[in-house]
Amino acid sequence: MKIENKLTAKQIRKLENLFANDFASPVFPLLAEHYYNIDDYSRSKKVCEIGLSKNTDNVQGMFVLAKIFYKSNDLYKGERLIQRLLKADPVNLKSLLVLFKIQKKLNRSNKALLSTITTILKICPNNPFAANWMQQNIEGKTTKIKKRNKKPLKISTKSTVSNKNQFTIQSKFQTFSMIDILITQKHYHDALKGLSVLAQDDTKKTKAEKYIIKINKIIKKENEKNISK
């Protein structure tokens, strides 16, 4: 059921009557969202809590309540509720965006923030908020996006990209999740640079080497395509 942002007075009265007659009614998120939109957070919270006590797995109800927790700065409760929601609905984009805001306020680690942003980009690769965060925190503030160079790429486990095109890969972001993002964005040499660092860890060496082989194959295919053009 889609939550509407605007309800007529008649619709509101109908929802209030339905909820008053049956606290287990699945329409309670609609009523809670209405109260939330008019800044009546107290009533919205009460409706959510009553509705969720009868219908514990209602994702929309959990989402509205999580937003209320965020507004009231009850961040730990909001984070736990959103995480519970995402177990039931892992691709809920709005919930992921709220989770990121909560994590940011809680000063969660960059690893946690990156994990949330990575999930958002997997669901919506062109999400402007997530893409902007990646550019500022992964690619570096001074990175300039240039047109793709059609010259053959050099296959190597070391990055040979010029400083103008090179991303600033900070050690705190040297994870396989970051490598996946770089591959998706076709920044292969930067991915190879990150992998060369990861390969120094014996527990990650085997996986890093597999990634390197995979990237070199991709580079080879793209070189062949460019040559054939």
- pLDDT digits 0-9 by tens, 91-116: 899 999 999 999 999 999 989 999 99
Are 185 and 131 part of one and the same domain? no
Are 156 and 225 part of one and the same domain? yes
Final residue in a domain of this structure, among 119, 139, 159:
139
Are 4 and 44 part of one and the same domain? yes
Are 135 and 167 part of one and the same domain? no
Number of domains, the chain: 3
Are 13 and 49 part of one and the same domain? yes
DSSP state of 139: I
Residue with tokens 């990175």: 143
Per-residue pLDDT band at 59 (split at 50, 70, 90): very high
Rounded Cα distance between 19 and 77, Å, is 25
Residue with tokens 């800044």: 39
Token digits of residue 37:
């939109």
pLDDT computed for residue 226 by the predictor: 53
Q: Taken in order 93, 97, 103, 104, is the CA torsion positive or negative?
A: positive
Q: Give the structural domain span for 3.
A: 1-66
Rounded Cα distance between 100 and 109, Å, is 11
Final residue in a domain of this structure, among 12, 31, 66:
66
pLDDT computed for residue 194 by the predictor: 76
Q: Is the pLDDT of residue 148 over 60?
A: no
Final residue in a domain of this structure, among 14, 49, 66:
66
Q: What is the mean pLDDT of residues 78-83?
A: 96
CB 67 within 8 A of CB 59: no
Rounded Cα distance between 185 and 137, Å, is 15
Lowest mean pLDDT among 35-49, 84-98, 159-173: 159-173
Are 220 and 190 part of one and the same domain? yes
Are 118 and 161 part of one and the same domain? no
Are 229 and 161 part of one and the same domain? yes
Give residues with Cβ within 8 angstroms of 31, minimum separation 6. Answer: 12, 15, 16, 19, 47
Rounded Cα distance between 99 and 93, Å, is 10
Are 129 and 161 part of one and the same domain? no
Rounded (10°) angle between helices 110-123 and 176-184: 40
- pLDDT digits 0-9 by tens, 10-24: 888 998 998 999 888
Are 113 and 162 part of one and the same domain? no
Contacts 24+ apart (CB under 8 A), 57-60: 57/88, 58/26, 58/28, 58/29, 59/85, 59/88, 59/89, 59/92, 60/1, 60/3, 60/29, 60/33
CB 178 within 8 A of CB 187: no
Q: Indicate the residue type of 77.
A: K
Are 183 and 220 part of one and the same domain? yes
Are 158 and 97 part of one and the same domain? no
pTM of full prediction above 0.75:
no
For residue 47, the domain's CATH number is 1.25.40
Biggest CA-to-CA distance, the chain: 71
